[in-house]
Amino acid sequence: HDGGGYQSVNEYVRRHQYPQTLIKLAILLRSRLTGGTRSIINAMRAFNEVYDNVLGEIPCANTINLWVRKCGLSTYEQNISDLSGEKHCSIIDECMMLGSNKLLLTQAAPAVPTGHPLRHSDVTLVSIDTAESFNAERISKSVMKTAKKAKRKPDYVITDNASVMKKGVRLTGFKHHFDLGHSLGMFLERTYKKAPDFQKYCKLMSNAQASHNMKRMAYLLPPRQRTIARFINLDNWVKWSGKMQEVYHTLSAEEQSVMSFIPANASLIDELSEVMSCVHYIENMCKQKGISKENAQKRTRHIKNTILHGNERMRNLALQIINYLHEETAWMAENETHNISSDIIESTYGVYKSRKSLNKLYGVTTLILGMPVFEKLSTRESARLYQIKNHIEKTRVKDIKIWKSKNLPENLVSKRIKTLSNQACF
């Protein structure tokens, strides 16, 4: 490390005897900032320059990463044991390909809603699983394995609407909620994806974006439409369309010429604005207060008073949402209130992807052990209670290697280096 001739990371740490405050600061920065470890070291060095070397000697990147992984493995194992005494629900999701593998995470959250959308401080990561692909049996085994380790099954499970998730949870016999955001996005897709006027309008927006990008008109152009999860993220360009409709008469003649497709599609824009307003009302209320028979009835009344009075397409969408709310609450008791959003696990994937290497060959690495630490250090209150010293002392480098060999796939970058280094050079 740093060319100092040390035989191991542990020897490096022993010989430097870093103060606990510096260790905690390094781990906090690594958990909360999206930059790499070396950018954090540069920030700490700059702090030393301004405040007369107040931090003392700054550890190297490998040492900080080792601290994070030690804390992460210890916290991850503790998370599972802590579930035995709590009522909880499980939130399960798989991410898209990371290298040659997929990542399946399970988070435990309070079974009763907290009165606000779930935050990282409300959940704990209790299962990390990787595979080239996940079928229903593999998902079922992962869920049951976590429940067995925790010695307590979840009160219910929340997933997206993927058929493999639906079948996997059904095999466990656990009660199952479908995520609100994915479900509403699915209903919007069924209603509008093949509608000729919707397709035409999306194409006109894309043409305007492509034709006038980086030109004088660029400041007026619509937000880019997502190719993946488009119908879960309609909000930006529907809002843009509504605003453009309001200010269209104030634009110059040239700008009006380019944006002429706005007034030409006024009826579709008004329809989508009303639909998205209703969708947002349902999402905001259910994500904050959870779902119960009582508030499902309130959401149903709101739908009947708004989009159910619209055209045939809006009425079809309204009936799909009403049926969804009925199905999600049909098996619940009268006094029960449940979480119904998996947004927090999507956010966790986003945090992990913002920190991992851009080189796709790395795939899933031990960097994933930083996520349990991120959850524990996400707020000032939880960070104050977190015993970093105990977690670091409790875990050895050997433990991380054993966990890696049992749970993570072979690193393709390491395989590439080993393979190429064995080839004869001519």
Q: Are 155 and 111 in contact (CB under 8 A)?
A: yes
**Which residue, among 187, 257, 162, has the nearest Cα to 217 in the 3D structure?**
257
98 backbone dihedrals φ, ψ, rounded to 5°? -115, 100
Burial of 413 (0-12, 13-18, 19+ CB in 10 A): middle
Reported as a single tens digit per residue, the pLDDT across 321-331 is 999 999 999 99
Those residues whose C-beta lies under 8 Å from the C-beta of residue 421, and which sit 6 or more positions away, are none
pTM of the model: 0.89
86 backbone dihedrals φ, ψ, rounded to 5°? -125, 145
Those residues whose C-beta lies under 8 Å from the C-beta of residue 277, and which sit 6 or more positions away, are 306
SS3 state at 124: strand
Q: What is the 3-state secondary structure (H, E, C) of 136-170?
A: HHHHHHHHHHHHHHHCCCCCCEEECCCHHHHHHHH
Task: Look at residue 96 in the predicted model and tell me its pLDDT.
Answer: 74
List beta partners, residue 69: none
Query: Which of these ranges, 199-203, 379-383, 401-405, has the smallest mean pLDDT?
Result: 379-383
Residue corresponding to tokens 């909620």: 177
Number of helices followed by number of strands (H, E) in the chain? 20, 5
- DSSP annotation of 249 reads G
Distance of alpha carbon 237 from alpha carbon 222, whole angstroms: 6
Residue corresponding to tokens 């995520």: 179
How far does CA 261 lie from the centroid of its chain?
A: 35
Distance of alpha carbon 411 from alpha carbon 417, whole angstroms: 10
Q: Which two tokens stand for residue 21?
A: 């405050």
Q: Which two tokens stand for residue 108?
A: 């435990």
Q: How many CB atoms lie within 10 A of CB 18?
A: 17
**Which residue, among 31, 62, 29, 63, has the nearest Cα to 44 in the 3D structure?**
29
Mean pLDDT over the full length of the chain: 89
If you average pLDDT over residues 344-353, what whole number do you get? 92
Handedness of CA 353, 355, 358, 359 (dihedral sign): negative
Handedness of CA 205, 209, 215, 219 (dihedral sign): positive
Residue corresponding to tokens 């700008």: 255
If you average pLDDT over residues 212-221, what whole number do you get? 88
Task: Look at residue 98 in the predicted model and tell me its pLDDT.
Answer: 78
Distance of alpha carbon 231 from alpha carbon 320, whole angstroms: 15
Distance of alpha carbon 178 from alpha carbon 183, whole angstroms: 7
83 backbone dihedrals φ, ψ, rounded to 5°? -70, -20
CA angle 80, 86, 89 (to 5 degrees): 80
Query: Which of these ranges, 157-171, 223-237, 338-352, has the smallest mean pLDDT?
Result: 223-237
pLDDT band at 17 (very low <50, low <70, confident <90, very high): low
pLDDT band at 353 (very low <50, low <70, confident <90, very high): confident
Taking the CA atoms of residue 102, residue 107, residue 112 and residue 116 in that order, the dihedral angle to the nearest 10 degrees is -80
Distance of alpha carbon 426 from alpha carbon 420, whole angstroms: 13
Residue corresponding to tokens 């991380």: 400
Q: Are 328 and 157 in contact (CB under 8 A)?
A: no
If you average pLDDT over residues 55-64, what whole number do you get? 90
Distance of alpha carbon 388 from alpha carbon 324, whole angstroms: 44
Task: Look at residue 113 in the predicted model and tell me its pLDDT.
Answer: 92
79-102 core/surface letters (b: 16 or more CB in 10 A; e: else): bbeebeeeebbbbbbbbeebbebb
Distance of alpha carbon 156 from alpha carbon 384, whole angstroms: 31
Distance of alpha carbon 53 from alpha carbon 17, whole angstroms: 17
pLDDT band at 9 (very low <50, low <70, confident <90, very high): low
Please check the confidence at residue 10 and state whether its pLDDT lies above 60: no
94, 345, 418 from 165: Cα distances, Å:
9, 15, 37
Distance of alpha carbon 105 from alpha carbon 92, whole angstroms: 6
